[in-house]
Structure 1
């Protein structure tokens, strides 16, 4: 079997790295802070430069403003971005799964209107999935969309909505059927956040700058044309979307780079000769590599045009373990210095806290693995 990247993908990575190293030499996500105004402003400008070079949506079809390069080049881009702290900010959602969902399920009018601003790096999207009583169980969501003439009236609440305070649109789930319908009564709406009746409220966090929000919908009216796909058929879109989201953030790439930095720190501190520390480094490296290989299996399925499989849940769980292992290692070897704000230890520990929550909790991934891969009975 041949595990190497193609010459074209390797050349793309080389060109990308040559551009990113000087471009991001003075930027680190840990200094700007996830969700901070400085971080968001930087991201808006940065993605426009990527778009101008054709590197924001290289994997999209050419007819929709992409480069037509396929899944692997897209993932090369993702690895290099996440290795450097993801300077695209929320744009990775736009290009990884919001845009592809619109390409697959959208009307020609939706594609014509919504895709070009994404390819130019001009808009932010957020994800309106979780609710106060429907976080890991999306089928229990209560936000309602009631048909009224040529549109819908939305009422409900979303929570933990990253970047909603900065976003232009929300990829929103709402119930158009009855609660008894479960998954069969859910629809997807492409909601402009300046719609009357939409209110965004901050949720203060303890691991860095503000990024989470609540979104309240009070008699917010949207045209029927804002619905993505068929009414009550949103779960198919959600299932595909979540499969893309699970591996859309290759966190292992950043964890592996932090691990290299920690090794250099230990070498300078005279700690790297300690067999116990060597073992910790070895374990963390194995977890990073295992996560990478599992993610590559998912990307290989995508590149071959296969339907999303449960392998994405394995990959997602493995990335959480890698992030946590490197975070724990940083605290162990750096001691009190890991508590210094913006230090590698501080930054990695903060990242590892969020790793098991963002894009679906770690525990939920384990439940899905037990049910869909191991085929274990429900407890």
Structure 2
């Protein structure tokens, strides 16, 4: 195996890193910004990335991309995370909302949405989880009933990040209540200012606006807002959510926090404390494991394979890495790690969110077990 980067990839990383170093202050973290400030910053910075072709570089050239390799996509994600993820919600638009439109959108939908995403001029949220359908997404109950040239949508979505500032919602709704669980689901591209849609913030320990409730009460949407064929949303989602599971290089941010903790341990003469060194070593091993596992997924993508199972494995590994770094925070900081603004307090939020976003860790383990046991039986 060769773990060296190609000359082209190394040059891309150096150019990207130089740009980010020059544009962003040291220790920048976009997720500490107020939601509306974050949206404004994301749009302004997204425009700068778009000017250099770095907002949607993995997209086909026909849609404004650069046909970038999966390895350069990973480099982009690593450096963005290392610099405080200045794209914020844009990564969602870029990594899978846009690709979903490229995969299944009509000519009219592509013409209307893709250029706005390419320019960083729009914010999306995903209407997936519900009060009784979080990790078990296929059990969703939000319904879209055909009425002439429209659909009438009723239901509730919950934990919806960015909904309070989003322009559009990438919505899953059931269009055939009698179909099997993974069938009868359709995708709709719904403006968040649609009449009958109410968005309310859910207070949480996370940053302001992190969670929202979206209630659809007789929201009428044209059939032209449906993405792909009726009742055929699940295969599109399954194919595209691999991009979400590996779209953010969380292990890189966790590793940076760990490096700072190690330096703090040295400065405070804690590096010889066996509890501290044990926690630091376990966290380092967990971050390294997550890095190797995402490289496996990227390698499969580069070779044209569909890395469903390994994407689930990576997702579990990155959750464990985030939690191991939190344990290291508490070992180094002690009770100080409970104080707002400490490494421990900040890392707790990252670790908790990682174990929930894109499906809980338990759900990922169930999917791994299903695929492995199913393969063994066959």
Contact 2:164/2:209, CA 8 A, preserved across alignment = no
Match of 1:111 in 2: 110
> 2-side partners of 1:7 and 1:363: how far apart?
40
Measured on the aligned residues, the alpha-carbon RMSD in Å equals 1.9
Alignment of 1:325-336 (within 5 A): 325-336=324-335
Match of 1:304 in 2: 303
Match of 2:14 in 1: 14
Contact 1:324/1:352, CA 8 A, preserved across alignment = yes
Match of 1:220 in 2: 219
1:308 Cα offset (Å): 3.8
Match of 1:121 in 2: 120
What stretches of structure 2 of length at least 5 have no aligned partner? none
SS class of match (1:153): strand
> 2-side partners of 1:155 and 1:278: how far apart?
53
Alignment of 1:325-364 (within 5 A): 325-364=324-363
> 2-side partners of 1:179 and 1:355: how far apart?
34
Match of 1:69 in 2: 68
Deviations 1:142-200 (A, max 9, x none): 11111111121111111111000100111110001114431110011111112111111
How many residue pairs get aligned? The number is 377
Match of 1:56 in 2: 55
SS class of match (1:152): strand
1:43 Cα offset (Å): 2.1
> Aligned pair in 2 of structure 1 residues 357, 25: CA closer, same or farther (>3 Å)?
same
Q: Structure 2 length as normaliser, TM-score?
A: 0.95
> 2-side partners of 1:292 and 1:151: how far apart?
46
> Aligned pair in 2 of structure 1 residues 45, 26: CA closer, same or farther (>3 Å)?
farther
> Aligned pair in 2 of structure 1 residues 88, 312: CA closer, same or farther (>3 Å)?
same
1:51 Cα offset (Å): 1.3
Alignment of 1:1-379 (within 5 A): 1-26=1-26, 28-29=28-29, 33=32, 36-375=35-374
Q: Structure 1 length as normaliser, TM-score?
A: 0.95
> 2-side partners of 1:101 and 1:262: how far apart?
40
> 1-side partners of 2:275 and 2:132: how far apart?
44
Contact 2:186/2:232, CA 8 A, preserved across alignment = yes
SS class of match (1:266): helix
What stretches of structure 1 of length at least 5 have no aligned partner? none
Contact 1:48/1:120, CA 8 A, preserved across alignment = yes
> Aligned pair in 2 of structure 1 residues 27, 257: CA closer, same or farther (>3 Å)?
closer
Deviates more, 1:359-368 or 1:336-345: 336-345
> 2-side partners of 1:166 and 1:305: how far apart?
36
Deviations 1:318-349 (A, max 9, x none): 00000000011101211133233223222112
Contact 2:164/2:201, CA 8 A, preserved across alignment = yes
> Aligned pair in 2 of structure 1 residues 305, 107: CA closer, same or farther (>3 Å)?
farther
